Amino acid sequence: MANEFWGERWDNSTSDIARKYMEVASRKKTLVCLAADRRTMSGLFELIDSVGPYLAALKTHVDLIDDWTPESWSEFCKKAHDADLLIFEDRKFADIGKISRDQMAGVYDIRSWSDLVTAHLISGPDIVDGLQAGWRDVGRSGGVLLLAQMSSRGNLLNPDYTDEVVSKGRNHPGVFGFIGNGSRPDELAELRSKVGNEKMIWTPGVNLTVGDGEMGQRYGDPRDAVLAGSDCIIVGSGIHRSENPEDSAKAYAAASWNALLER
Ligand code: S5P
């Protein structure tokens, strides 16, 4: 079924996790990854209960939760699996390969529950091997999303840097795809042309109300992002800060899914 909707992305994909994502998205008719940026476990449970059916993935920042415990986190991850969601820890790793591997362990033990993580390529491509080794250490596998662009104003990821990230990442089997800037469809279309048709591009900086967000965040429209080549819209405040998160999640799911069909 997923191949009908995803076309060349499905046909060219060599990644089990990417295909799993495309299958989940096709089953649930949504390209939404929720940026679950709530600071309490109860806030996270409430969110997943109300909007889980409208999401294809769940993005976490495990280190911003005030009352985190290993027990509550494993219950949360179980809930995410029950809701048919990939778990994506947005850790933005950036250190050398060996330290990144060790940072997959530690108190949060990200390697044991994450399917995807983000990384900057500033320290060189060995970071991808380090993160993959982290998953292997616990008999699991996962995918790395490299930050090729960012949504925040004044960021230092200029076009030359983006090109380097893409050229080093596009043929690496450990790289699931790239983070692109959802607030600028023209930049995103350019990124897609460089990435080609195989790898995923996931995009934050997306909101049905376009314009500037808090502290330098910028927003673009979900449909524009998908038409420009995004495979997943990462939405935070548009859902978790809305008066009715369920209605908002439904609206983002419909906008993103219809745009994929249009594409
Ligand atoms: O360039 C980026 C990369 C990321 S992963 N810009 C971002 O905003 N993000 C993340 O996306 C950020 O860490 C946050 O969790 C989410 C955007 O949240 P929103 O509330 O602005 O939609």
* Residue ranges per structural domain of the chain: 2-262
- The SS3 assignment for 184 reads coil
Span 51-80, average pLDDT: 98
Q: Considering only CA atoms, which of 111, 261, 234 is closest in space to residue 180?
A: 234
Tokens of 76: 């949360």
Give tens-digit pLDDT for 28-46.
999 999 999 999 999 999 9
Cβ(230)–Cβ(201) below 8 Å: yes
How many whole angstroms separate alpha carbon 212 and alpha carbon 42?
29
* Residue 153: predicted pLDDT: 96
Choose which residue among 37, 59, 64, 157 to substitute to test ligand 1 binding: the one with the highest number of ligand atoms within 8 A of its C-beta.
37
Superfamily of domain covering 2-262: Aldolase class I (3.20.20.70)
Tokens of 1: 């079924």
Q: What angle do CA 105, 88, 255 make, to 5 degrees?
A: 175
> Rounded to the nearest whole angstrom, what is the distance from the C-alpha of residue 137 to the centroid of ligand 1?
29
- The SS3 assignment for 118 reads strand
Q: What is the pTM of this model?
A: 0.98
User: Which ligand 1 atom is nearest residue 150's CA?
Assistant: 1
> Annotated catalytic sites, by residue?
92
The structure tokens 């076009």 sit at: 159
Residue 91 has pLDDT above 90, yes or no: yes
* Residue 1: predicted pLDDT: 86
